[in-house]
Structure 1
Amino acid sequence: MKKIVALLIAAGFSLAATAAPETYVIDTTHTAPRFEYSHFGYSNQVSRFDNTTGKIVIDKAAKTGSVDVTIDAKSVNTGYATFNNHLQGEDFFNTAKYPAITYKSTKVNFNGDKVASVDGNLTIKGITKPVTLTVTSFQCMPHPMLKKDACGANAVAKILRSDFGAGKYAPHVSDEVTLTFAIESVKE
């Protein structure tokens, strides 16, 4: 009996040793953070950032992970160059002083084998606030073209832009902003 228990314990340690965190690098060509807000109640405007970098670490066996993302605030893209420049000014992103927006996780939450949400800290204009991203889809599998493992996710959160020192024209232009992230990453 002691031999069986010892064998089971050894097998458990062996399995635990094989589970390890995996690091994925964000694919900048397939990652698009977007933000949406009401414009005077006429319509919801959607804009995006074109340059995002970072890493995602997932340990599926331990159900843990981390997210570290940097968005180039100067890459804001509204589809209109004059408005892009306006958003880069002091009233909004102030990219001359704060060129980056960052999100650093404090906890990755799983539902079964899938990432369900990510708790973390969002920093805009040097102001850091806790923000939870609700993951609406999450998939890891071999990438058919790159022949490497890859993970992708979609996530959403709501923030108040005034919390980050960017509340000009509120409430006419909504203070509440919906953040949407479409992220793809490739295993290091």
Structure 2
Amino acid sequence: MKKLITLALAAGLSLSAAAAFAAPETYVLDDSHTFSRFAYSHLGFSTQESRFDSTKGKITIDRAAKTGSTEITIDTKSVNTGSTIFNSHIQGEDFLDTAKYPTITFKSTRFTFSGDTLASVDGNLTIKGVTKPVTLKVTSFKCAPHPMAKKDACGANATTVIKRTEFNAGKYAPSVSDEVTLTFAVEAVKE
């Protein structure tokens, strides 16, 4: 009987330890190392690249269960093209209409892993009040102790391509490319 109780306790402790190991962890985006970028062909002459300077959000990930979720909010008024005049142009009604739509949001619906590595994130992207499903292809992913923050951290790079006409931001298309490549450089520190 004593052996049976000991075995039951050991099994219970093993299950508790496994459950604790597999618990979801939440990470808050480090806004000084997280940037959302967009690139498009300008009349076929060049590829223009710009970014948003303010991206906020959280990522919850359970690496053992290979699941996760994220909600990201981009401040559209933080658009940075490198030109104050062009920033105002992009913020206008024909493009981002930041007066009416001050944010772009992404809410995940599924994380997909390849082995232990995050491979893609499916979710819903909302721009100018229009929501469309997108898949972010993750090109790099790493979780490890952060040497300066002294906490666990995760980082990733991801990309997707959208058509701006589908989000009511299609002025000058197709001369100025309808296709826009979105890239995200994300670093997040554990709560």
Normalization by structure 1: what TM-score? 0.94
Aligned partners of 2:152 and 2:53: how far apart in 1? 24
Shift of 1:93: 0.5
Where does structure 1 differ by over 4 angstroms across 4 or more consecutive aligned residues? Answer: 3-9
Aligned partners of 1:37 and 1:74: how far apart in 2? 19
Q: Which residue of the partner structure matches residue 71 of structure 2?
A: 68
Q: Which residue of the partner structure matches residue 161 of structure 1?
A: 164
User: Which of 40, 52, 56 is matched with 1:53 structurally?
Assistant: 56
TM alignment of 1:24-103, pairs within 5 A = 24-103=27-106
Shift of 1:113: 1.2
Shift of 1:67: 1.1
Please provide the CA RMSD for this pair: 1.7
2:118 alignment partner AA? V
Aligned partners of 1:144 and 1:104: how far apart in 2? 29
Aligned partners of 1:15 and 1:157: how far apart in 2? 38
Aligned partners of 2:149 and 2:9: how far apart in 1? 40
1:113 alignment partner AA? D
Shift of 1:53: 0.3
1:63 alignment partner AA? K
Shift of 1:15: 3.6
Shift of 1:28: 0.3
Aligned partners of 1:104 and 1:26: how far apart in 2? 14
The answer to whether the aligner puts 1:184 opposite 2:182 as a matched pair is no
Aligned partners of 1:6 and 1:116: how far apart in 2? 39
Shift of 1:12: 5.4
1:138 alignment partner AA? F
Q: Which residue of the partner structure matches residue 173 of structure 2?
A: 170
The answer to whether the aligner puts 1:119 opposite 2:132 as a matched pair is no
**Which stretches in structure 2 are left out of the alignment for 5+ residues?**
none
3-state DSSP of counterpart to 2:113: strand
Shift of 1:14: 2.2
1:37 alignment partner AA? Y
- Equivalences, count: 187
3-state DSSP of counterpart to 1:28: coil
**What CA deviation, in whole Å up to 9, does each residue of 1:118-166 have, x standing for no partner?**
0000000000000100000000111111101111000000000001000
Normalization by structure 2: what TM-score? 0.93
